[in-house]
Amino acid sequence: MKNIKKSIESLNLIYYEYDKKSNSFILDKNFSNEHIYEELIKITHFLSKNHIPFFINENKSLVLNSKDSLTSKIKRYINSFVQKIKNSNLNIYILSDKKVKWAKNLPVIKIETIKTNIDFSSYDALIFTSKNAIYSLDSYTHAWKTKPLYVIAPETAKIASDMGGKLKFVGKEKHGNEFAAELIPLLKNKKVLYIRGSRVVSDMVDILHSNDIVCDEAIVYKTVCINFKKKIKLPKKSVIIFSSPSTIECFLKNATWDPSYKAISIGHTTKKFFPSYIKPTLSETASLDSCVKKAIELSR
């Protein structure tokens, strides 16, 4: 089937992501709950209905068009094995403690919770654009779980769902202002609460206000830099993944940028905050897994 990625958007998947190069629906193995099996059933039903052959591999990912010859399968296995060896020797860095295969962790920021008193009964829904907002809020109250949640992207949605939140909508655009545009028809004439950090880089609240949506804000965390005793010095040609404006600021406070380094930006908003001497490559989707895939491509 042509344009299969576009065709499955209506399924609203958050745990599976379609990867065009491998022609697979890849499961995020960091999560394990009943919602994953719901999505698996959705995908298999869709593929079967459209007569698309597939098989489920040992990682519970779905591989499409599986009618390959034995020779093709052997070649693919060998190529995969060689690529894994190459990937294990790459210097790819994520500037947080989030574990992603083939990447090394170099946390340069830390999250400090801000305890905020919130009357959730006053709101029709809650908006989240950050997993840190969910973690911080949940550390001192579970009352947020009673409200419908409007979440910017699958990465954040997975956290909210895993912690028992009631997902109502997951954004497709994955960037603040574009996400606000998606919310306008859904939240018209409602009163909502945006749960966020102390720093914002979009005009989402103003956009909602100007479209007859009452949007209050609650600050539940702040991001601060980790101060290293010695300057960070990474190997030449390292690929560094920046997942927020704060990671740019905090990395450059602790390191001198080498011209051989390559930068990956998780999204358009983060990309705007790079200094002029760094030309980042944009990830295809707003997830660290996608950033690592892009980093591997740049390292070849």
Among 222, 19, 263, smallest CA distance to 112 is for 222
Q: What pLDDT does residue 74 have? A: 59
**pLDDT tens column, 73-108:** 556 655 665 567 777 789 999 999 999 989 999 999
* SS3 assignment for the chain: CCCHHHHHHHHCCCCEEEECCCCEEEECCCCCCHHHHHHHHHHHHHHHHCCCCEEECCCCCEEECCCCCHHHHHHHHHHHHHHHHHHHCCCEEECCCCCCCCCEECCCEEEEECCCCCCHHHCCEEEECCHHHHHHHHCCCCHHHHCEEEECCHHHHHHHHHCCCEEEEECCCCCHHHHHHHHHHHHCCCEEEEEEECCCCCCHHHHHHCCCCEEEEEEEEEEEECCCCCCECCCCCCEEEECCHHHHHHHHHHECCCCCCEEEECCHHHHCCCCCCCCCEECCCCCHHHHHHHHHHHHC
Domain contains 83: no
- The mean pLDDT value of the chain amounts to 90
Query: Do 154 and 53 fall within a single domain?
Result: no
Q: What pLDDT does residue 147 have? A: 98
Q: What pLDDT does residue 3 have? A: 62
Better-scored residue on pLDDT, 99 or 20? 99
Better-scored residue on pLDDT, 177 or 8? 177
**pLDDT tens column, 257-288:** 999 999 999 988 899 999 999 999 999 888 89
Q: What pLDDT does residue 21 have? A: 76
**pLDDT tens column, 111-170:** 999 999 999 999 999 999 999 999 999 999 999 999 999 999 888 999 999 999 999 999
Q: What pLDDT does residue 209 have? A: 96
Among 95, 97, 82, smallest CA distance to 261 is for 95
Domain boundary among 206, 224, 242: 224
Query: Do 207 and 171 fall within a single domain?
Result: yes
Query: Do 104 and 236 fall within a single domain?
Result: yes
Confidence of residue 65 (pLDDT cuts 50, 70, 90): confident
Residue 67 has pLDDT above 70, yes or no: no
Domain contains 73: no
Number of domains in the chain: 3
* Inter-residue contact 105 to 96 (CB < 8 Å): yes
Residues 6+ apart with CB under 8 A from 262: 237, 238, 239, 240, 281, 295, 298, 299
Rounded to an integer, the average pLDDT of 56-79 is: 69
Query: Do 254 and 268 fall within a single domain?
Result: yes
Name the β-bridge partners of 241. Answer: 94, 264
Confidence of residue 179 (pLDDT cuts 50, 70, 90): very high
- 262-265 and 281-282 as β-strands: parallel, antiparallel, unpaired? parallel
Phi, psi dihedrals of residue 32, rounded to the nearest 5°:
-150, 100
Query: Do 125 and 179 fall within a single domain?
Result: yes
Query: Do 138 and 207 fall within a single domain?
Result: yes
Domain contains 18: yes
Domain contains 283: yes
Rounded to an integer, the average pLDDT of 2-9 is: 67
Domain boundary among 224, 252, 274: 224
Better-scored residue on pLDDT, 29 or 160? 160
Domain contains 78: no
Rounded to an integer, the average pLDDT of 181-199 is: 96
**pLDDT tens column, 42-53:** 999 999 988 888
Confidence of residue 7 (pLDDT cuts 50, 70, 90): confident
Query: Do 258 and 116 fall within a single domain?
Result: no
Residue 18 has pLDDT above 90, yes or no: no
Confidence of residue 299 (pLDDT cuts 50, 70, 90): confident
Where in the sequence is the domain holding 193, given as residue range(s)? 111-224
Identify residue 122 by its one-letter amino acid code. Answer: S
Query: Do 283 and 150 fall within a single domain?
Result: no
Residue 1 has pLDDT above 70, yes or no: no
Domain contains 74: no
Confidence of residue 68 (pLDDT cuts 50, 70, 90): low
Print burial letters for 77-92: b (CB count within 10 Å at least 16), e (below 16): eeeeeeeeeebeebbb
For 201, the token pair is 């880089």
Query: Do 117 and 212 fall within a single domain?
Result: yes
CATH of the domain at 213: 3.40.50.10090
Query: Do 177 and 256 fall within a single domain?
Result: no
Query: Do 100 and 235 fall within a single domain?
Result: yes
Query: Do 8 and 153 fall within a single domain?
Result: no
